[in-house]
Structure 1
Amino acid sequence: MIEVFTWATPNGHKVHVMLEECDLPYRAIPVNIGAGDQFKPEFLAISPNNKIPAITDPHGPDGKPISLFESGAILVYLASKTGMFLPRTDRERFEVLQWLMFQMGSVGPMLGQAHHFRMYAPEKIPYAIDRYSNEARRIYSVIDKRLAQSRFLGGKDYSIADIATFPWLRSWQNQGITLSDYPHLQEWFNAIDARPAVQRGVKVLAELRKPVRDEKEREILFGKTQYERR
């Protein structure tokens, strides 16, 4: 059984959804990032960047256990393991992978910054809010344009590119977005939101995650604890 060290965040939900879509047996092990669980030595042993999610699979590619961190790498691994949600031909596979990299390099980092400066930053900095809100709108426009031409991000079929991107767009309101401004994206979003495996995946550990409650938790998430050398 695959063990997933995770929390109810967009990056965590990517892997939860993929496991549900592939119908793979797994156990979700909570890593409470507000309490600092991500800095424990046993977690750092499999995720040296102290970020969730990470997995261990007792039945790796050579029959031996494997551990992986970085959600994009985990999605590619699970797709390779199951033969699902990543095309087999080079042309189709690279089309999917470019949109997966777009999520990893742009969608996640930029929407995360928009969310942070709009919702969590202790000081409301107009420059930062404007910069990342504008970038969020640009990214939504890129996705909307793509989905005007293609049913799914990676092509005609649902893939790990869609699985990776969808969880980041669930907080569109906190990113300063009006979803109806992007009709092709909205149609895609609603279709994916209706998938049973997606609905199950985004519920994983959701009952454990609470809003940032105090300054100690805020410091763990956003302060000097993040930058200590380990």
Structure 2
Amino acid sequence: MAAPYPPKPIRIWVTPPGPNPWKAVFLFEELGLNYELKPFRFDDVKKKPFIDVNPNGRTPAIEDPNTNLTLWESGAIYQYVIEVYDKENRLAYDSFHERHLCNQWLHFQMSGQGPYWGQAGWFQHLHHEKIPSAVERYCNEIRRVLGVIERVLADKPADAQWLVGNKMTFADMAWLPWNFRLSEVMLLSWDEVWEGLPHVRAWHEKMAALPSWQRCIEIRGRLMEAQGLQWNGVPKGIETFTEYEKKIAEGEDTTALQH
């Protein structure tokens, strides 16, 4: 039996509902790295011990005892893991142009996907009042950003339907966890989500079928159930995220509301 790599497991702090923690776990799973999950409730992201790990109080964050580095922000975690633990360039390139192009797409994911997808989900499901113009704006931005990827993929050969070069890289993988939730974010059927985006759909579904991603979904499901969470991350027994935040601020134990 092969020795674990790296020798000491890397701790990944996760709150189960959001996409970004699974962005990190997906990379660890695909590379087959030695890691341990530290799952905890969203109620505690601004409390010790996690606030000492990430002063911004958001997951994911990692603690790597092999290098004595603690790191937060999913994009920074991606770049670190690729540099330190993907020595064979399974999910990256060592060539100059491709290396920088991968980072370009990663930064576009962080600036162009995460904020717009997140705001669309917020105004669609979690805001205390319905603001149709806000929902429309962010859903239009989702379409615009996906349209950028569609044009890029459509111009590539059939055997190279990836953002950079002719193989899946971390630049592709970073997009999957947020795209995986588009049906619920936009309140559309899966076919409606991908209307006019055949290349993006095929690209997404190739990654969604990977065993590494399927393991992520299975782990996430178990953690969501263990924490008594609804699909949107709000505990069972609480109707809105605003109500959830209020109860957290008041110090109420929301676990009692799950039953």
The correspondence for 1:67, drawn from 47, 65, 70, is 70
The correspondence for 1:157, drawn from 153, 159, 167, is 167
The correspondence for 1:195, drawn from 210, 225, 241, is 210
Counterpart residue number, 2:257: none
Counterpart residue number, 2:19: 10
Give a deviation string over 1:64-116, Cα, whole Å, max 9, x none.
x1110000111111111122422112210111110000010110110110111
Question: What is the TM-score when the length of structure 1 is the normalising length?
Answer: 0.88
SS at match of 1:86: coil
Counterpart residue number, 2:93: 87
Tell me how far 1:215 sits from its aligned partner: 5.9
Counterpart residue number, 2:5: none
How many aligned residue pairs are there? 219
Tell me how far 1:224 sits from its aligned partner: 9.3
C-alpha contact 2:128 2:240 (8 A) present in aligned 1: no
C-alpha contact 2:117 2:138 (8 A) present in aligned 1: yes
CA distance in 2 between counterparts of 1:216 and 1:78 reads: 36
Give a deviation string over 1:12-58, Cα, whole Å, max 9, x none.
1111111111111111111211xx11111221112111000000011
Q: After the TM superposition, which of the residue ranges 112-121 and 151-160 deviates more from structure 2? A: 151-160
- Counting aligned pairs with the same residue, the percent is 33
C-alpha contact 1:54 1:70 (8 A) present in aligned 2: yes
SS at match of 1:52: coil
C-alpha contact 1:17 1:202 (8 A) present in aligned 2: no
The structure having more radius of gyration, on CA atoms, is 2
Question: What is the TM-score when the length of structure 2 is the normalising length?
Answer: 0.79
Runs of 5+ consecutive residues of structure 1 not aligned to the other structure? 226-230
Q: 1:104 to 1:221 in 2, by over 3 A?
A: farther
Counterpart residue number, 1:182: 197
Considering only aligned residues, what root-mean-square deviation do their CA atoms show, in Å? Answer: 2.0
The correspondence of residues 100-179 of structure 1 with structure 2, limited to 5 A, is 100-150=106-156, 151-176=161-186, 178-179=193-194
C-alpha contact 1:54 1:67 (8 A) present in aligned 2: yes
Q: After the TM superposition, which of the residue ranges 78-87 and 100-109 deviates more from structure 2? A: 78-87
CA distance in 2 between counterparts of 1:175 and 1:219 reads: 20
Matched, 1:54 2:61: yes
Tell me how far 1:219 sits from its aligned partner: 4.5
Bigger RCO (CA 8 Å, 6+ sep): 1
